[in-house]
């Protein structure tokens, strides 16, 4: 007996695919839509290999209202949406702000418009700790001040939260759970799916594992003169499976008629870790050296940000559980699998 039908937009992406696996494992039917601009349809095969279930897959962009209307017509009975679909490269968003505002906000608005007419109860929105900017105090709670976004990408997340809030305040008969992620890392333990960025990775872990396997000459640690214990930036790195499981909990909240119309949760471990500590932990966990040098600071980087996850722990009933060493071993296993398959 299915617990419900969930639409996962951006579901062949890094976080979307891992969430699709956890939803299927928890008894939900999953429909994926993805424009494949930053992922491959092969990911659907990986989801099937892990779960034994092949989710329905539609190739298309939710930025096109006709695509969204057709999707709901062809897949009736969707109970909730998890919206991952978005352009998400911080640096690119500075160069192409109009693309980011058009794509990310049209996707959300097109989905919101189709919810009530199709009886969709709620939407989980993929937000980000970037809404906090450089916090005055760490750890950040959901009540920490929202700072002016430092990139158009981050601004699309802030504006999206406001759009959802205003839509619900206007009387739309829908609910929302907004999840503010910290730094997702790692891959599925099976190494059937994982993080596969196009081109030169911007994020730390894929660049680190590509360096460890010899695809990159060295890892540049962007800045060791920050006001932190070892001079490198501090982040809250959260295992991708733990993050995926937070979305299952969020769907359960949405489908429970007794919960509030809109809730916001920080999804992090509550532990701040420096870049150097991450490199050291990777080397200890895998026995593999990561050639690295200290380089100049990267423009736009936050010095330190990590979560107070108490609300998610106590209200959502979710807690990060995966030890960091296991997460990093999974990331390494994925990099090795990519080489075995000749993908990189």
Q: What is the closest distance, in whole angstroms, from the C-beta atom of residue 303 to ligand WQD in the complex? A: 8
Q: How far apart are CA 324 and CA 304, in angstroms?
A: 18
- Measured from the CB atom, the residue of 114 and 330 that comes closer to ligand WQD is 330
Q: Which is nearer to ligand WQD, 43 or 90 (CB)?
A: 90
Classify strands 219-222 and 183-185 as parallel, antiparallel or unpaired. Answer: unpaired
Question: Catalytic residue among 14, 100, 153, 226, which?
Answer: 153
Determine the 3-state secondary structure of 207 from DSSP. helix
Q: Is 226 a residue of the active site?
A: no
For residue 123, the minimal CB distance to ligand WQD (Å) is 17
Provide the H-helix boundaries in the chain.
14-25, 42-51, 65-74, 90-95, 97-115, 152-169, 204-212, 240-255, 275-286, 310-311, 324-340
Between 90 and 328, CB nearer to ligand WQD:
90
Taking alpha carbons only, the member of 322, 339, 340, 327 closest to residue 282 is 327
- Tell me the torsion sign for CA atoms 43, 24, 115, 174: negative
Residue nearest to ligand WQD (CB): 233
Minimum separation from the CB atom of position 249 to ligand WQD (A): 19
Distances (CA, A) of 291 to 106, 211, 217, 229, 288: 42, 7, 7, 21, 10
3-state SS class at 143: coil
Return the number of the residue (117 or 199) whose C-beta is nearest ligand WQD. Answer: 199
Residue 216 C-beta: closest distance to ligand WQD, Å: 9
Residues that bind ligand WQD (CB under 6 A): 88, 90, 128, 130, 181, 183, 202-204, 207, 219-222, 233, 235, 275, 298, 301
The set of residues, in sequence order, having a beta carbon less than 8 Å from that of 91 and lying 6+ positions away, is 151, 202, 300
State the minimum distance, in angstroms, from the CB of residue 220 to ligand WQD.
5
The residue (of 79 and 130) whose beta carbon lies closer to ligand WQD is: 130
Residues identified as active-site: 153
């Amino acid at each position: 007996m299915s617990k419900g039908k969930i639409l996962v937009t951006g579901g062949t992406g890094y976080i979307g695919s891992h969430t699709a696996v956890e939803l299927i494992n928890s008894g939900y039917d999953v429909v994926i839509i993805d424009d494949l601009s930053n992922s491959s349809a092969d990911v659907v095969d990986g989801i099937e290999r892990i779960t034994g279930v092949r989710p329905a897959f539609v190739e298309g962009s939710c930025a096109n209202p006709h695509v969204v209307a057709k999707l709901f017509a062809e897949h009736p009975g969707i109970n909730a949406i998890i919206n991952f679909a978005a352009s998400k490269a911080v640096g690119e968003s500075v160069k192409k702000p109009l693309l980011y505002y058009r794509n990310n906000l049209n996707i959300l608005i097109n989905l919101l418009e189709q919810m009530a007419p199709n009886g969709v109860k709620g939407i989980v929105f993929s937000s980000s700790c970037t809404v906090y900017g450089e916090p005055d105090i760490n750890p950040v709670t959901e009540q920490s001040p929202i700072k002016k976004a430092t990139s158009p990408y981050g601004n699309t997340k802030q504006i999206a939260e406001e759009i959802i809030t205003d839509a619900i305040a206007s009387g739309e008969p829908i609910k929302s759970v907004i999840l503010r992620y910290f730094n997702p890392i790692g891959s599925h333990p099976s190494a059937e799916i994982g993080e596969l960025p196009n081109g030169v990775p911007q994020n730390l872990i894929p660049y680190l594992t590509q360096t460890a396997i010899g695809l990159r000459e060295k890892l540049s640690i962007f800045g060791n003169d920050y006001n932190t214990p070892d001079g490198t930036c501090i982040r809250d790195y959260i295992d991708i499976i733990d993050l995926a499981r937070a979305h299952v909990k969020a769907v359960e909240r949405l489908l429970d008629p007794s919960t509030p119309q809109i809730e916001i949760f920080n999804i992090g471990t509550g532990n701040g870790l420096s870049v150097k500590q991450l490199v050291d932990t990777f080397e200890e966990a895998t026995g593999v050296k990561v050639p690295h040098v200290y380089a100049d600071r990267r423009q736009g980087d936050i010095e330190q940000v990590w979560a107070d996850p108490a609300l998610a722990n106590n209200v959502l009933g979710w807690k990060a559980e995966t030890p960091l060493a296991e997460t990093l071993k999974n990331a390494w296993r994925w990099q090795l699998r990519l080489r075995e398959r000749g993908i990189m």
